[in-house]
Homo-oligomer: A and B are copies of this chain.
Amino acid sequence: MINENNLPHLPFRESVNPHIERIVQRESYTELQLKNMIRDMGLKVTQQRLAILRALNEGRVHVTVQEVFEVVSQTHSDVGFATVYRFLKKLKIKQHVTEVRMGGGAARYELASKTHHDHLTCVGCGLIIEFEDAEIETKQNVVAEKFGFNLTHHVHELYGVCNRCQKNP
């Protein structure tokens, strides 16, 4: 099966990620930092893994496997999804990427930033705003403590209608 871009066998649909507004800034990693990230995971530094990390580092945030695959394909004509899936899973386990499942489609991934943040998503146009709120984070710990939990991570997604979509429904 060949799609309109003439890429080999893409079983996924073109994914939609209209526009992203980044509120919380994350500084990009250097090439060396990316290599060390792989090494520190006890893995071999391959061209494919570097290319995947570069895609996550430079490209837009909240990408699907499909999108990573497309970017990486530009420089490596014959990567497979399998590699992207496999590496992304390892990165997820090591908490280097965060998996976000908004709505029903494929999972979206983003390279972890030092400052944690959450998401505010417009159900109308898909705009994603990142926010952080120290008070909420604190309250979470209180809740966890109350039930004897040792918190590892969390997902906090707010959904609503953005300003622009309120005016142009």
Residues of A bordering B, CB below 8 Å: 23, 99, 101, 104, 107, 120, 122-123, 129, 131, 133, 135-136, 139-140, 143-144, 146-163, 166
Contact = CB atoms under 8 A, between A and B. Distances in A.
Contact of A150 (B99, B139, B160): B160
24 contacts: A23-B147, A104-B107, A131-B143, A133-B143, A136-B140, A140-B158, A143-B158, A144-B158, A144-B160, A148-B162, A149-B158, A149-B160, A149-B162, A149-B163, A150-B161, A151-B158, A152-B159, A152-B160, A154-B157, A154-B158, A154-B159, A155-B156, A155-B157, A156-B156
Given A101-B101, A154-B157, A159-B152, A120 B147 contact: yes
Copies of this chain, tallied across the complex: 2
Identify the 5 closest CB pairs spanning chains A and B, nearest first: A148-B163, A149-B160, A151-B160, A150-B161, A155-B157
A121 to B, nearest CB: 9
A156 B154 contact: yes
A120 B151 CA distance: 9
A146 to B, nearest CB: 8
Contacts of A129: 147, 149
A107 B120 CA distance: 21
A138 to B, nearest CB: 10
A156 B136 CA distance: 11
